Amino acid sequence: MTAPTRPVLRVADAAFSADETHGHHALMAHNRLLAHSDGLGWRNMYASIAQERPWSGTMAPVHHYCIGYCIGQAGLISRWADGERSPVKGMLKARQFGSIPAHVPSTWRLDGSPDMLHIYLRRSMVHAVAEEMFGMDPDTVDLQPILGVMDPMLEQLALSVITALQRPEDAYNGLYIDQVATMAAAHLLRHYAARPAARVLSVAGGRAEPGLWRARDYVLAHLDGDLGLDVLAREAGMSQIMFAQRFTSAYGETPYKFVVRQRVERARQLLAGSDLPISEIALQTGFCSQSHLSDVFRRHVGETPKAFRHSSRAVPVGPKT
CA distances from 96 to 81, 158, 196, 301 (A): 20, 11, 22, 35
CATH number of 18-192: 2.60.120.10
The two beta strands, 45-51 and 32-36, are: antiparallel
Asked if 259 and 227 touch (Cβ cutoff 8 Å), the reply is yes
pLDDT confidence of residue 196: 61
**pLDDT tens digits, residue range 183-203?**
999 999 988 988 765 544 444
> What's residue 302's pLDDT?
94
By mean pLDDT, which of 18-32, 97-111, 276-290 is the weakest? 18-32
Range 97-101 average pLDDT: 93
Ranges of each domain in the chain: 18-192, 210-311
Segment 282-301 shows an average pLDDT of: 93
Q: What helix, strand, coil percent values describe the chain, rounded to 5?
A: 45, 20, 40
What count of Cα atoms within 13 Å lies in the side-chain half-sphere of residue 228?
18
Superfamily of domain 210-311: Homeodomain-like (1.10.10.60)
The pLDDT of residue 162: 93
pLDDT in tens, 198-242: 544 444 444 457 889 889 989 988 999 989 888 999 999 998 888
pLDDT of residue 86: 82
- Bridge partners, 68 (sequence order): 98, 118
> Is the confidence at residue 83, as pLDDT, over 70?
yes
Average pLDDT over every residue of 284-300: 93
